């Protein structure tokens, strides 16, 4: 056992740290610290900076223009990015669709779509969930019927994150209703400008509109946009989900969030002393920090395993559950720290408005973030689904 990074890892860490110092624009870091949501321009600006350095496609093989970092390097980057208050990388094209294309797409598809992802030509969104297909994703009903050289798609997707920015959507659609749910699903790439597609924003409980409904009415999709084989989409979707889980523990987010809570608790006063010296509040912070320290090590253990080629199975589910509980607990601490200044409903605070804000620095968005991040334990396979996986895997082994 050795809890230290190798010299190579340390060199990489200092390279990333220098990069953040030199290349991360101050105005983007300020927005992250202020809890602001990101505009399309912000994201594209940061993506372009990373892309110029060859660091945008971190998990892609070199042959496709990626950085081909191992899991430990990716972990180091995430940690440093969070500490520097860098914006998150929008994952839909880069780390969700791209691995599927690289593994199951044709050469033509890879040659066409991958460079466009790297250059920022396309903004992808994910068409998975439907009103009746959430945790039970395989029951999805959006129908695609083959008609000559194209499919005709009808149905509805929901919870589609940032579809308002997207010009492309990768979708799971039903191409066969005669077989078991999982066996009649196909994976289609659809141009959002195709006639018959309508995007309707969903206003969330914090006032933000980051997710959408996407409706399809007789949408024609060229057969060339089918990934792999018809009816085999479930296999590709499951492969994608293993990639969605690479940063599943969110350690970087939690570290940054905990630091923000401590900053606020130092400036906020309670009984004539900084709140951070209040025994009850200090205990709350310590409790979360202890859990986070252990989870960081769990994450590194699992990440190191993955770096050696092992595929995380139920361990990824454990990280998802524990990681989201910790992140939500930190959001809860942030709202507590703000005291009565958590009260203002300022959805503009999330968009970085210039309106004067209330109370201690950073208090503006804490309540909205607390409510918004209830999603963490719901999306990407709810924590109930993860617990099901953990139990079934374990009890299955007993048999």
Query: DSSP letters along 212-225, please?
Result: EEEEEEEEEEEGGG
12 near other proteins, judged by CB under 8 A:
no
Contact positions with other proteins (CB under 8 A) in 367-396: 367-368, 370-371, 374-375, 377-379, 382-384, 387
Between CA 345 and CA 367 the distance in angstroms is 8
* Member of 52, 111, 136, 229 binding other proteins (CB under 8 A): 136
Tokens of 254: 């939690």
Of 41-49, 98-106, 133-141, 300-308, the window that binds other proteins (rule: CB under 8 A) is 133-141
Contact positions with other proteins (CB under 8 A) in 17-56: none
Cα 112 from chain centre: 25
Cβ 157 vs Cβ 144: under 8 Å: no
* Member of 31, 284, 322, 327 binding other proteins (CB under 8 A): 284
Q: How many CA atoms lie within 13 A of 255 on its CB side?
A: 19
Q: Which is nearer to other proteins, 146 or 203 (CB)?
A: 203
What SS3 class is residue 138? Answer: helix
Residue 188: partners with Cβ closer than 8 Å, 6 or more residues away: 144, 151, 153, 170, 171, 173, 221, 225, 226, 227, 233
Residue 92: partners with Cβ closer than 8 Å, 6 or more residues away: 123, 124, 125, 126, 161, 162, 166, 170
Cβ 338 vs Cβ 360: under 8 Å: yes
Least distance to other proteins, CB of residue 165, Å: 19
Q: Which is nearer to other proteins, 195 or 356 (CB)?
A: 356
Give phi and psi for 270, each to the nearest 5: -140, 120
* Member of 21, 200, 280, 301 binding other proteins (CB under 8 A): 280
Least distance to other proteins, CB of residue 46, Å: 26
Cβ 99 vs Cβ 236: under 8 Å: no
Residues 137-176: x/- map of binding to other proteins (CB under 8 A)? --x------------------xx-----------------
Least distance to other proteins, CB of residue 171, Å: 18
270 near other proteins, judged by CB under 8 A:
yes
- Torsion, Cα 9 13 14 20, to 10 degrees, reads 160
205 near other proteins, judged by CB under 8 A:
yes
Residues in the chain: 399
Q: Which is nearer to other proteins, 72 or 275 (CB)?
A: 275
Residues 213-252: x/- map of binding to other proteins (CB under 8 A)? ----------------------------------------
Least distance to other proteins, CB of residue 204, Å: 5
Q: Which is nearer to other proteins, 158 or 247 (CB)?
A: 158
Tokens of 238: 């499951």
* Member of 171, 303, 346, 389 binding other proteins (CB under 8 A): 346
Q: Which is nearer to other proteins, 223 or 269 (CB)?
A: 269
* Member of 278, 298, 304, 305 binding other proteins (CB under 8 A): 278
Of 102-110, 135-143, 149-157, 313-321, the window that binds other proteins (rule: CB under 8 A) is 135-143
Between CA 73 and CA 52 the distance in angstroms is 18
Between CA 52 and CA 54 the distance in angstroms is 6
Query: DSSP letters along 107-127, please?
Result: HHHHHHHHHHHHHT---EEEE
* Member of 10, 48, 146, 203 binding other proteins (CB under 8 A): 203
Contact residues for other proteins, defined by CB under 8 A: 129, 132, 134-136, 139, 158-159, 202-205, 207, 268-272, 275, 278, 280-281, 284, 328, 332, 335-336, 338-346, 356, 358-359, 367-368, 370-371, 374-375, 377-379, 382-384, 387
């Amino acid at each position: 056992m050795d809890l230290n990074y190798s010299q190579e890892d340390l060199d990489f860490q200092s390279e990333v740290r220098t990069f953040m110092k030199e290349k991360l624009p101050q105005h983007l870091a300020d927005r992250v610290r202020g809890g602001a949501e990101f505009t399309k321009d912000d994201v594209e600006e940061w993506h372009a900076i990373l892309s110029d350095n060859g660091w945008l496609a971190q998990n892609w093989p070199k042959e496709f223009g990626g950085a081909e970092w191992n899991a430990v390097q990716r972990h180091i980057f995430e940690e440093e990015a969070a500490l520097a208050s860098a914006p998150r990388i929008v994952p839909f094209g880069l780390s969700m669709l791209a691995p599927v294309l690289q593994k199951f797409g044709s050469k033509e598809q890879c040659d066409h779509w991958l460079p466009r992802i790297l250059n920022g030509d396309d903004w992808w969104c994910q068409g998975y969930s439907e009103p009746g297909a959430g945790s039970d994703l395989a029951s999805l009903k959006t129908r695609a019927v083959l008609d000559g050289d194209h499919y005709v798609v009808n149905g509805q997707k929901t919870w589609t994150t940032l579809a308002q920015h997207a010009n492309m959507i990768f979708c799971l659609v039903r191409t066969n209703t005669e077989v078991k749910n999982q066996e009649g699903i196909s994976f289609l790439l659809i141009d959002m400008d195709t006639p018959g597609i309508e995007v309707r924003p969903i206003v969330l409980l914090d006032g933000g509109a980051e997710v959408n409904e996407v409706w399809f009415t007789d949408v024609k999709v060229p057969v060339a946009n089918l990934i792999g084989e018809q009816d085999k989409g479930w296999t590709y979707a499951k492969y994608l989900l293993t990639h969605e889980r690479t940063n599943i523990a969110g350690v970087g987010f939690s570290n940054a969030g905990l630091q923000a809570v401590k900053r606020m608790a130092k400036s906020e006063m309670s009984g004539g002393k900084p709140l951070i010296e209040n025994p009850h509040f200090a205990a709350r912070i310590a409790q979360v920090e202890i859990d986070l320290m252990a989870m960081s090590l769990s994450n590194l253990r699992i990440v190191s395993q993955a770096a050696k080629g092992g595929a995380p199975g139920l361990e990824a589910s454990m990280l998802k559950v524990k990681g989201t509980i910790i992140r939500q607990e930190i959001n809860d601490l942030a709202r507590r720290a703000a005291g009565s200044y958590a009260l203002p409903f300022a959805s503009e605070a999330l968009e970085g408005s210039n309106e004067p804000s209330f109370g201690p620095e950073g208090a503006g968005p804490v309540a909205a973030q607390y409510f918004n991040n209830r999603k963490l334990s719901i999306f990407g396979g709810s924590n109930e689904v993860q617990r099901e996986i953990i139990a079934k895997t374990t009890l299955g082994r007993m048999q």
